[in-house]
Amino acid sequence: MTDIAPAIARTVPDLRALVASWRAEGKRVGLVPTMGALHAGHISLVEIARRHADRIIVSIFVNPTQFAPTEDFSKYPRTFEADLAKLTGIGTDAVYAPTVEVMYPPDAATTVSLKGPATAGLEDIARPFHFAGVATIVAKLFTQSAPDVAVFGEKDFQQLAVIRRMAADLDLPVEVIGAPTVREADGLAMSSRNVYLSAENRAKAPELHRIMQAASSGIVAGEAPESTLARARKAIAAAGFTPDYLELRDAADLGEPRIGRPRRLLAAATLGTTRLLDNIAVD
Ligand code: PAF
């Protein structure tokens, strides 16, 4: 690996020319889609992508269509130069940073329509248009870069399930790889939005993960899930969060848990003005 900064592509033809040159050399291509504001969790996605591909593209695009008008699109952290520095020397070959006009020309009129995990009654309740925006932009990133593999964090577990389903349903020739959540030393799942937390709320934030772990242990030990989850929801509220959901689901399709299949505990809760998401395996 060199210390040379990644090539920067800003248009679809530039990106395709780069990918074509790698393909001509017989290289496998990996894609790590991001919205920038990179942290150690994103860096781990690049490291995982490198195990599966010879050339790595990191896309940086804050996708307007996955934010509701009431959400934080305009204040979402944009740190392009710092992101580029973080991607240098870790085996990123190209950064794809298109403009909104490249991704959404004025006459664009097509979106991906979703059911299945996208309508599981989790994030989609609070953010009804979010996954259509995510799936549309990810489908475009896939067709623009034509990667062999693409890596997404398990931190956004419903997003990962939606993208897997979409890639399978649309026969997109890309292997979707899920990467384990990277956590701060105190257990808080890394997220670009953690910068919004006040010092006081940053200290409280890991409590969500601790409560989830306790609930998971109880369920694994044989407690009835419904009463354990009800207790955990109360504990989340008592710790100062506004709980949104805490649900036990089938880990593959996010439907109701089924005997003999992996289960996942998923939560969202607001602390101050920051919405925190987390999920853990229950096994
Ligand atoms: O997880 C994210 O950062 C975004 O939802 C993604 C996958 C890059 C699509 O904009």
**Any idea what the CATH number is for the domain that residue 47 is in?**
3.40.50.620
2 within a domain of the structure (yes/no): no
CB 179 near ligand 1, within 6 Å: no
The fraction of the chain above a pLDDT of 90, given in percent, is 98
Q: Are residues 33 and 73 in the same domain?
A: yes
User: 154 in ligand 1 pocket by Cβ < 6 Å?
Assistant: no
Q: What is the mean pLDDT of residues 1-6?
A: 81
Asked if residue 185 is part of any domain, the answer here is no
> What is the number of structural domains in the chain?
2
Please check whether residues 26 and 161 belong to one and the same domain.
yes
175 and 53 housed in the same domain = yes
Last residue of a domain, one of 153, 179, 205: 179
pLDDT at residue 120, rounded to an integer? 98
Do residue 26 and residue 83 come from a single domain?
yes
Q: Which of 156, 164, 182 to mutate to test the pocket of ligand 1 (most atoms within 8 A of CB)?
A: 156
Q: What number of other Cβ atoms are within 10 A of residue 235's Cβ?
A: 19
Please tell me the predicted confidence (pLDDT) of residue 3: 80
How much distance in Å is there from the Cα of 134 to the middle of ligand 1?
Answer: 6
Nearest CA residue ID for atom 9, ligand 1: 134
**Has residue 18 been placed in a domain?**
yes
Closest CA to 120 of 161, 65, 164: 161
Residue 167 and residue 35 share a domain: yes
> Span 135-155, mean pLDDT?
98
Instruction: State residue 208's pLDDT score.
Output: 98
Q: What is the Å distance from ligand 1's center to 205 Cα?
A: 22
Angle of CA points 158, 248, 239, to nearest 5°: 95
pLDDT tens digit sequence for 48-72: 999 999 999 999 999 999 999 999 9
For 234-259, what is the mean pLDDT?
97
Whether 186 is in a domain gets the answer no
Q: What is the mean pLDDT of the segment spanning 83-100?
A: 98
- From the alpha carbon of 138, which atom of ligand 1 is closest? 9
- Catalytic annotation on 42? yes
Catalytic one of 39, 42, 52, 209: 42
- Residue 210 resides in a domain: yes
Residue 19 lies in a domain: yes
Q: Domain range holding 83?
A: 7-179
pLDDT tens-digit series, residues 17-50: 999 999 999 999 999 999 999 999 999 999 999 9
What mean pLDDT value characterizes the chain?
Answer: 97
pLDDT at residue number 77: 96
Q: What is the mean pLDDT of residues 123-130?
A: 97
- In a domain? residue 127: yes
Q: Is the pLDDT of residue 1 over 70?
A: no
pTM, to two decimals:
0.97
d(CA 87, CA 97): 13
Q: What number is the average pLDDT over the span 133-146?
A: 98
- Res. 150 pLDDT band, cuts 50 70 90: very high
**115 and 225 part of one domain:** no
- pLDDT tops 90 at residue 108: yes
Are residues 79 and 152 both part of a single domain? yes
Give the model's pLDDT for residue 2. 65
Residue 66, domain member (yes or no): yes
Give me the pLDDT at residue 4, please: 87
Tell whether 136 and 253 lie within a shared domain.
no
Pair 205, 272 in one domain: yes
Average pLDDT of the segment spanning 132-143: 98
Ligand 1 neighbour 63 (Cβ under 6 A): yes
Q: Which amino acid is at 134?
A: V
Evaluate: CB of 9 within 6 angstroms of ligand 1: no
Residue 98, pLDDT score:
98
